[in-house]
Amino acid sequence: MSDKLIKLVRFIGLGFLEPIIRLSKGEETKKNITLILKKIVAPLASILLFLLIWQQGSDALFNIEANYRIEKAFKEQGQEAADEMKLCIESGAIKCQPNTFPTPSQVKYSFYSLLKDHKIINADKKAFIEKTAELNKQRKKAGKKSLVYTGRPSFVDQIGTSLKTVFAGFLLAIFIAVPTGVVIGLSETLRSSINWIIQIFKPVSPVVWLLLVFMVVKTITKDSDIDSSFIISFISVGLCSMWATLVNTVMGVSTVDKDIINVAKVLKLGPVQKVFKVVLPSSLPLIFTGLRITLSVAWMVLIAIELLAQSPGLGSFVWEEFQNGANDSNSKIIVAMFVIGIIGFLLDRVMLTIQKFVSFNKN
């Protein structure tokens, strides 16, 4: 039972829970306590240290800003205004808070306020749907378009949009890079003739890709009223991130073990059979390494691309908050940063798990 649990825990990448499980079964107490110290207590301590440094740092930044304001009031309006400013800042009134790097507690507060916001918007949306349900039926009968909720998206909605964009881009990358990589990998002539394209386009920045895609998509979708910002952003994400998979697939396919190729020859496999039964399976581990890199690159460039393409999502959320300059904007940006980081980490974990499935190199 506990062995199964440990296996499961290890498989989903939560291996650090293993000593706790073992300890609860009373196995090797001393060893497991050291393991807990190493794998759980030490990371927790480092998180605490991180929060402490953050708190101190943002306090220091806050003080600099506050002092500057007080001094400015003193210079421009005299002692009385300076005292008033000092009192005002100390009281925590919103109108005179300096806009600076937020503290951990502010970020936590913003996080909850974003969730609350999401609940409000969700309720609003539900009410709207209920309200328009009858009307939409009638509109449908009359052959008109149904009414949709056009209110502002909540933070959680934007996470959803970003994930949607990243998966669309990732799928696009798979569908372009893997087949192309296999074809290029199989033929030495193709490899040497196409290499320059890969080498030149690989380092191109996401911003440039976005502009290139924009130029093309803008012309193509001229007459239609499709939401082109989503199309532009997911295509750019796909094009930016596919190179790792392409290069890895080419490498995997072109460096299949000679012994394995000999087997294919001796078994007299046809060209199609050879690709599907021998070449692809043996290069799967490398292809998956590429896909893992692709997904993390896709998530990374997504934020920048959404920011520029004005397509809804975490990127535009960050940008809007920055432009907004409200009192809690900065802490909302930090919340978005953590959410982006954690989702990126989870995506990588998922890919790692899938990679473990297809890899035959390990026992």
Partner 1 sequence: MAYLELNNINKTYGQGENANEVLSNINLHIEEGEFVAIVGFSGSGKTTLVNIINGLLKPTSGEILFKGNPVVDTSRERGVIFQNYSLLPWLTVYQNISVALKETFPKASKKFREERAKAYIETVNLTASIHKKPKELSGGMRQRVAIARALAMDPEMIIMDEPLGALDALTRGNLQDEILNIWNNDKRTALLITNNIDEGIYMADRIIPLRPGPNATLGPEFKINIERPRNKTLLNDNLEFKKIRNQIMEYLMEIGQERITANSIEYQLPDIEPKTFY
Q: Which residues bind partner 1 (CB under 8 A)?
A: 259-260, 262-263, 265-269, 273, 277-278, 281-282, 284, 360-361, 363
What's the first-to-final CA gap in the chain, in angstroms? Answer: 22
Contact predicate 331/110, CB 8 Å: yes
Q: Nearest distance from residue 351's CB to partner 1, in Å? A: 19
Q: Nearest distance from residue 293's CB to partner 1, in Å? A: 22
Q: Nearest distance from residue 245's CB to partner 1, in Å? A: 20
Which helix (H) or strand (E) segment holds residue 326: the answer is none
Cα 169 from chain centre:
12
**Looking at beta carbons only, is 102 or 185 nearer to partner 1?**
185
Contact predicate 94/137, CB 8 Å: no
228 CB-near residues (< 8 Å, 6+ apart): 217, 218, 221
**Looking at beta carbons only, is 20 or 261 nearer to partner 1?**
261
**Looking at beta carbons only, is 69 or 274 nearer to partner 1?**
274
Q: Nearest distance from residue 262's CB to partner 1, in Å? A: 6
**Looking at beta carbons only, is 34 or 262 nearer to partner 1?**
262
- Record the tokens describing residue 154, joined without a space: 């909540």
**Looking at beta carbons only, is 38 or 265 nearer to partner 1?**
265
Q: Nearest distance from residue 255's CB to partner 1, in Å? A: 15
Q: Nearest distance from residue 279's CB to partner 1, in Å? A: 11
CA distances for 51 relative to 46, 262, 318, angstroms: 9, 58, 22
Residue 13 φ/ψ, nearest 5 degrees: 85, 20
- Record the tokens describing residue 104, joined without a space: 């951990």
**Looking at beta carbons only, is 192 or 262 nearer to partner 1?**
262
